[in-house]
Amino acid sequence: MKTLRNVATFSMIFFAASIFAQIERSRAVTLMGSKFEITLVDKDSLSAEKNIDKSINEIRRIENLISEWKPETQISEVNKNAGIKPVKVDSEVFTLTEKGIYFSKLTDGAFDISIVAMDKIWKFDDSMNELPSEESIKNSVKNVGYQNIILDKINSTIFLKNKGMKIGFGSIGKGYAADKTRELMQSFGVKSGIINASGDISAWGNQPDGKPWAIGINNPFKDDKIAAVLYLKENAVTTSGSYEKYAEINSKRFSHIMNPKTGYPSTGLTSVTIIGPNATMANGFSTSIMVLGKKEGLKLIKKFPEYQYLIIEDSGKIVKYLK
C-alpha cells in the first residue's frame, strides 16, 4: 500500500505541475513602421502562438485606425479635410485625440499631435552642417497648433481649423498599441507577457521561472554599461532619446525630437525613460520632458508620483527616481 500511495502522490504532483506549466513564446514583426516583439507566457505552445496572432491583429487594427501614412485610415480622412469640414471618427480615435490634447495643455504645447504638419527642414542623416535660417524655422511651424484641433464629443468628430494642418500619433501610438494588446491578452486569460514596441514596453505577470521581467536601460555614454535595470510586473516603460538620431552642428547636438512651439530640436537631454502604469502616458511624458528640459520636465513628472523616471543629460549626468 505504501508503494501505491507513493505512486498516487507522484501522479497528483505531476498532474498539478502540468496544470501550472507555462510556455514562453516570442515573435518579432514589423507593424506601425516599427519593430514589435511580442512575448507571451501561456499554457502551451499552440495557445501561445494563437494569442500572438491575436496580438498582431490588435496592433494592426490600431494602425489601421490612427496611421497618418495610410490613406484609408480615419486620421488620414481628418487630415484630408483640414480647413474643410469635421470628420466623424470612432470613439477610440476620439479618445486618443483627447489624450493628445490633454498632454498639449499639460505641457503648454511642448507636446503636440499636430507637429506632423511641421516642415521637414531639419535633416538627421549626417547631411546637415549648418542651421536652417531663422525665417524658415519660424515658417516651419505655421500649421502646428493643438488649439486649432476642434473636438465635438456629442457627434464624435474632429475638425482641423486650418488648411495644411495634420495630426498624428507617432509620439504615443506605439505605447497605446502595447497597452491595448496587454489588455486584450489579459482578457483572454494570458497570465503573463511583454509587448515591446521598439522600446515602448507594456508588461504584466512574471517570467516562467517566477521572476519579474527585467529591462536594461542603456547608458549612451558608456557602451559597456547600463544606466539601470528595471523590474516590471504590471507596468510599462518608455524611452525617448537623441543618442541614435540627431544632427551635430558646430559641436552642438540637436535631437530629432522637435519643439512644436519653436521649430527647433530639443537640446540638453540625451534620453528620458519613464516607468508607470501604462505606456501611453509614459510615452507622452518621455517625449514632453525631452522638449521641456530637465528643470521643467522634473516639475511636470513630480506631479504624477505613480510614474518614475531616469533622465540622462547631455553632460552624461543621470537624474533618477526609481522605487
How far is Cα 240 from Cα 171, in angstroms, rounded to an integer?
A: 9
Question: Taking 90 as the threshold, does the pLDDT of residue 111 lie above it?
Answer: yes
Q: Under DSSP, is residue 106 helix (H, G, I), strand (E, B) or coil?
A: helix
Average pLDDT for the chain: 91
| pLDDT digit string, tens, across residues 255-268 | 899 999 999 999 89
pLDDT at res. 149:
98
Burial of 259: CB neighbours in 10 Å, binned 0-12, 13-18, 19+: buried
| pLDDT digit string, tens, across residues 117-140 | 999 999 888 888 889 999 999 999
Would the annotation count 26 as a binding residue?
A: no
pTM of the entire predicted model = 0.90
- Domains with residue ranges and CATH for the chain: 74-160 (1.10.3980.10)
pLDDT at res. 3:
42
Confidence band of 74 (pLDDT split at 50, 70, 90): very high
CB 148 within 8 A of CB 70: no
Query: Average of pLDDT values for 271-300?
Result: 96
Would the annotation count 171 as a binding residue?
A: yes
CB 179 within 8 A of CB 119: no
> HSE (CB half, 13 Å, CA atoms) of 37?
11
- Long-range own/partner contacts, residues 85-91 (CB < 8 A, 24 or more apart): 85/159, 86/150, 86/152, 86/155, 86/157, 86/158, 86/159, 87/157, 87/158, 87/159, 88/155, 88/156, 88/157, 89/156, 89/157, 89/158, 90/65, 90/156, 91/156
pLDDT at res. 21:
59
